[in-house]
Amino acid sequence: MNISQILFLIVLVIVFKEAVKRYGRLFRNINLGRDDEPINNKGGFRRMMLIAFGQQKMFKRPIPAVLHLFIYIAFVITQFDLLEQIIDGIFGTHRILSHILGGFYPFMISFIEILSVFAFIATIAFLSRRNLLKVPRLNSKDLIGWAKLDANLILIGEILLIIGIFCLNGADKALESNLPEKYHPTGFFAITSWLGPALFGSLPEYYLNLISGFGWWLHLAVVFGFILYLPTSKHMHILLAFPNTYLSSDNPRGRMPNIESIEAEVKSALGIEMNHTPKETIADFGVHDIFQLTRKNLLEAYSCTECGRCTAVCPANLTGKKLSPRKIMMDVRDRMEEVGRKLDDPDFKSLGGDVDNKIGFNDGKDLFSYIEKEEIRACTSCNACVEACPVLISPLEIILQLRRYEVLTESSGPPDWIPMYNALENNGSPWQMTIERDDWIKELN
């Protein structure tokens, strides 16, 4: 067992152990939400294949969709390369799959190299769109700070990944060309079979091995870094878009679930029997923290790509109001992360008192510490954000539940709303009238 093999095994174990901890923390945070209502998702698998795997909704904007497709396909296909490198690292071999797959091996590597060139072009285009062209939805105030840096870091990582692939393949092809009696031929690679000897062919064997090793380790370092970085990044959608689209509901968009205790009271007053006994519910009506949101809502927050398509079509945002559906999803995720950090902090002490969540957590903050009431009041419930989302996230669900809490629990709301609510409660009409709304029926009798 050589030093490189021992070092790889040590790194592999460390990365695996840390990844288990980080992804476990993320799924712990999602499970802080309440149980989901029974999900009506008979078309879930078809939606997942069309939207998460097939990128269907991305193609409403063809240019960024095609660029994204280059990176997406390259990401999927290069897992072949990664698998080989992991096997080589564990067993101390080099290009082990070339001995097993025969002529299929150079076809796959050639395919990866061509895709990598397209992915490189797409990456440069995305960096330019964000930092040179400054596309408005990619440079709004929602993304100031970490969110913008996060997107750039991933794109820079993509470039490093491509450099690693071409350094490894190019140096190997130069070695095979210069010393065919010593290095096993692996077939014709579409790009590096000519680019490798052209760039590196004049270098001695020692330096070629150095470049090959550098490319191998750079590729693995970027992949391992990406695995550990993913749970803290918006790019978690690469994994979570699949369960999120699968679990999306067939129900009409914007539909709000009834509050069972109120539904039971109304049905009882009307002489209608409930199909089941209402579950015990929290005292508050609506949502004011992540604990009252469903696990699906919290999954959506981690699935958000921060692309801004929702905010770009939001009529409230377009008319200058504070509401940004993207920010709502980012705020929910930030609150989850804050709660998660405090749960992991042995020195954190819950404030206690009356709490309305299953773990008795209370730090004196909630979602309204992140989201201003002016934001949720601006929503027109038009579902434009839901329609625009490429991975079927519904910011509207969260907005409506926050607004329900403000109105039903806090008895609050804009001054213009209160008379309407009082009139609905007293007269069954949004207008303030001195008589019952249905008094005219008595005259007919």
- The model's confidence at residue 284, banded by pLDDT at 50, 70 and 90, is low
CA angle at 401 for the pair 396 and 402, rounded to the nearest 5°: 100
Contact 401, 292 (CB under 8 A): yes
On the question of pLDDT at 278 being above 70, the answer is: no
Distance, CA of 310 to CA of 269 (rounded, Å): 41
Contact 181, 134 (CB under 8 A): no
On the question of pLDDT at 37 being above 80, the answer is: no
Angle at which helices 205-229 and 3-30 pack, to 10 degrees? 20
pLDDT tens track for 353-380: 767 788 889 998 999 999 999 999 999 9
How high is the pLDDT of residue 378? 95
β-sheet bridge partners, residue 294: 34
How high is the pLDDT of residue 203? 94
Contact 313, 384 (CB under 8 A): yes
- The model's confidence at residue 431, banded by pLDDT at 50, 70 and 90, is confident
- The model's confidence at residue 183, banded by pLDDT at 50, 70 and 90, is very high
Structure tokens at 53: 């795997």
On the question of pLDDT at 435 being above 80, the answer is: no
Q: Within 13 Å and on the Cβ side, how many CA atoms surround 218?
A: 20
Distance, CA of 98 to CA of 5 (rounded, Å): 19
Structure tokens at 265: 């009271």
Q: Read off the pLDDT of each residue in 90-99 and give the average, rounded to a whole number.
A: 92
- Rounded to 5 degrees, φ, ψ at 215 are -60, -40
Residue 179: left (phi > 0), alpha (psi -120 to 50), or beta?
A: beta
On the question of pLDDT at 178 being above 90, the answer is: yes
Cα 124 to chain center, whole Å? 22
- The residue whose two tokens read 């079509």 is 313
Contact 51, 57 (CB under 8 A): yes
Distance, CA of 426 to CA of 420 (rounded, Å): 10
Taking alpha carbons only, the member of 240, 335, 265, 327 closest to residue 293 is 335
Domains located in the chain, CATH noted: 3-30+61-246 (1.20.950), 282-414 (1.10.1060), 415-445 (no CATH)
> Which carries the bigger pLDDT value, residue 339 or residue 286?
339
- The model's confidence at residue 287, banded by pLDDT at 50, 70 and 90, is very high
Q: Read off the pLDDT of each residue in 372-401 and give the average, rounded to a whole number.
A: 94
**Range scoring the smallest mean pLDDT among 63-72, 131-140, 384-393, 430-439:** 430-439
On the question of pLDDT at 36 being above 80, the answer is: no
- The model's confidence at residue 277, banded by pLDDT at 50, 70 and 90, is low
Highest mean pLDDT among 64-73, 164-173, 259-268: 164-173
Share of the chain above pLDDT 90, in %: 68
Mean pLDDT of the chain: 90
- The residue whose two tokens read 């299929």 is 104
- The model's confidence at residue 33, banded by pLDDT at 50, 70 and 90, is very high
Q: Read off the pLDDT of each residue in 261-272 and give the average, rounded to a whole number.
A: 79
First to last CA, the chain: 98
Contact 424, 430 (CB under 8 A): yes
- Rounded to 5 degrees, φ, ψ at 294 are -80, 165
- Residue 278, classified by CB atoms within 10 Å of its CB into exposed (0-12), middle (13-18) or buried (19+), is middle
How high is the pLDDT of residue 2? 82
Distance, CA of 86 to CA of 170 (rounded, Å): 19
pLDDT tens track for 213-229: 999 999 999 999 999 99
Taking alpha carbons only, the member of 170, 266, 156 closest to residue 209 is 170
